[in-house]
Chains A and B, each alone.
Chain A
Amino acid sequence: MEANGMIALASAIAIGLAAFGGTQAQGKAAAAALEGIARNPEAQGKIFTPMILGMALIESLVILGFVIAFMIQGKF
């Protein structure tokens, strides 16, 4: 395979894997938070902030993957 094709593949795989892992983790966080809210609706305000925080921290790694994908793409 020529080099350009490999570069395109690499960038797609980088963001794809990062998004896959990140969404799995965020889905788990959201599911747990929703379950907590469903069991005790009054705790919504208290659950919401840590959930957003956890999601932001998970997401930061996905965004690092996104940046890497961009950097790989810049090598065309």
Chain B
Amino acid sequence: MRILLSLATVLFSANALASGGFTWLHGVHEKFGLGVETGTNFEHFTTFLLTSAIFIVGGLIFKFKTANVEKSIVPDKGVSFRNIVEFIGEFIYNLAKSTMGAKDARTYYPLLIFYFGFIFLNNLIGLIPGFLPPTENFNTGLALGVWIFIYYNAMGVKVQGLVGHIKHFMGPMIYMAPLIFVLEIISHAMRPLTLGLRIRGNMLGDHTVLAIFSDLVPYVVPLPFYMLGIFVCFMQAFVFTLLTMIYISMAVETHDHEEHAH
């Protein structure tokens, strides 16, 4: 089975580059005519819809499988769908616990696991020959980043009140406040941009390397780059989630200023 899969990957990657940047959607368009312009934006958007559908269906399947509480106490044997989902969930939960503390981790867990799972899936789909990863498009990354920006500011206001949240931007000393305020505003405004650009740049770079190497030698040689691709996909989703955790925990931390005021 494993050999068959790797063989299929090799064959498909050869097939993909023989036709000069083949994608499934473009193939369908050539055959039947979709009646729309199929640029890269359209490709990314359609793939994004597809991954959203996969994500929702996967979530529903998991929900139905664990709906019966008595049966779902006993874990499955071996590598099953449920075990994979639980493994990823536990990994993110432990990470959140070590960066945000147990209480905050519990509160913000749904957002974090959604971001990790969704970005990871969106990255991974680019490794299937004939699909473009939606995260390769800057619009996707920027949308995800801007939502994080809005969310952590809203949470900061909710937890600490508007005055308390703005005090965060002021720095420790009042006479330094005007200078630090400007710097902080700039650095906060850069956050959604860098989140989006990081994921966009990394995915584009990874995809380009893969494309160039499968163009040079279509068989076998690209396989190590697929491994690298899986690693990069995981790492980018991980970094995005980690930075989200840090931003949220920085916005909602309520520490006493007397304790370390110097």
Contact = CB atoms under 8 A, between A and B. Distances in A.
B198 A49 contact: no
Given A49-B242, A52-B242, A66-B205, A60 B98 contact: no
A63 B95 contact: no
A45 B205 CA distance: 29
A63 B198 CA distance: 6
Count class of interface residues, chain B: 10 to 19
Contacts of A56: 198, 239, 242-243
A53 B201 contact: no
B198 A53 contact: no
A53 B242 contact: yes
Contact of B95 (A49, A59, A66): A49
Contacts of A8: none
A49 B238 CA distance: 10
B98 A45 contact: yes
B46 interface: no
Given A60-B197, A64-B197, A67-B197, A52 B239 contact: yes
B246 interface: yes
B23 interface: no
A46 B243 CA distance: 16
A63 B243 CA distance: 16
Contact of A49 (B99, B197, B201): B99
A60 B198 CA distance: 6
A9 B202 CA distance: 22
Contacts of B242: 49, 52-53, 56
A60 B201 CA distance: 9
21 contacts: A45-B98, A46-B98, A49-B95, A49-B242, A52-B238, A52-B239, A53-B239, A53-B242, A53-B243, A53-B246, A56-B198, A56-B239, A56-B242, A56-B243, A60-B197, A63-B194, A63-B197, A63-B202, A66-B201, A66-B205, A67-B197
Given A49-B99, A52-B239, 7 more contacts: A52-B242, A53-B242, A53-B243, A53-B246, A56-B242, A59-B198, A67-B197
Interface of B: 95, 98-99, 194, 197-198, 201-202, 205, 238-239, 242-243, 246
